[in-house]
Each structure stands twice: as C-alpha cells, then as structure tokens.
Amino acid sequence: MNIGEAARVSGVSAKMVRYYESIGLIRSVTRTQSGYRVYSDDDVHALRFIRRARSLGFSVDETSQLLALWHDKSRASADVKAFALKHVAELETKIAELQAMSRTLQHLASHCHGNDRPDCPILDDLADDSSRASR
C-alpha cells in the first residue's frame, strides 16, 4: 500500500512516516519502480505501535527503545516494566511541576478582587518575587 493509505490506517501522518524513516525509527521500506514507498501490514503495525507509544508520552528516542524491546523476543518483562515505570516517574515529576504552577496561580487569583479597580496581587507578585519569601 502507498504511504497515504498507510498513514490513514495507522493514524500517523504521511509527513511523520517519512520523518520516522529519515531518522531511522522505522526501516526504509521498498519502493515501486517510480519511487513510491510500499508498506506492508507489518509496517503499519509498527506505525501503530509508535503512535500508541507517542500518545503515552514516550519520546521518539524512548519509542525506539520500546520497539527494540518489542522485537527482542528474549527480553525479560522486568526490563519492559522498569522502562515503563521510569517513564511514569518522569510523568509524575512533570505533573507535580504543573500542579505547583497551577496552585500558585490559583492562590494569587483567589486574592485578586477581580473587579474594575487596577490593583492586583497577581501582577504584584510577578513584579516583586521577593514578596513570596517574606510573606
């Protein structure tokens, strides 16, 4: 099948399929005489795998490692589990960072009258971050 159909059935855009090939994430598929890429069901399967891994927040590099684990029939499930849990830890770190931002902003907003007067503790905080330490 052509790249367009492979893109459609895998959910990965044709643009990204070419990109993934260029960086070596997927193998270079065979071509027709005229140069069109030809994809097999296995290729589409790999593309779906990639799309799913990306949707779980794995980087392209990490996805590459997951593909290697997938193809390595002799790997231990412990290796895969450790890899997944390491990513979970990174996600949790990121979540905690965003929650800290959100919490701070909500706190500031709760002290802002939100009326038509100009004085606003949110901007006051941004303008003088030493206030955070002393208050």
CA distances from 47 to 25, 42, 78 (A): 10, 9, 24
CA distances from 135 to 103, 113, 122, 129 (A): 17, 19, 14, 10
End-to-end Cα spacing for the chain:
65
Q: Which does 24 bind (CB under 5 to 8 A by kind): a second copy, DNA, none?
A: none
Q: Which does 47 bind (CB under 5 to 8 A by kind): DNA, a second copy, none?
A: none
- Residue ranges in contact with a second copy by CB under 8 A: 45, 48-49, 52-53, 55-57, 66, 69-70, 73-78, 80-82, 84-85, 87-88, 91-92, 94-95, 98-99, 101-102, 104-106, 108-109, 112-120, 122-123, 125-127, 129
CA distances from 41 to 7, 51, 73, 82 (A): 12, 15, 20, 30
Q: With CB under 7 A as the contact rule, which of the stretches 33-41, 65-73, 98-106, 123-131 interacts with DNA?
A: 33-41
Which helix (H) or strand (E) covers residue 132, if one does?
A: helix 130-134
Shortest Cβ distance from residue 63 to DNA (Å)? 8
Among 11, 27, 36, 100, binds DNA (CB under 7 A): 36
Which residue(s) pair with 37 in the sheet? 31
Q: Which does 135 bind (CB under 5 to 8 A by kind): a second copy, DNA, none?
A: none
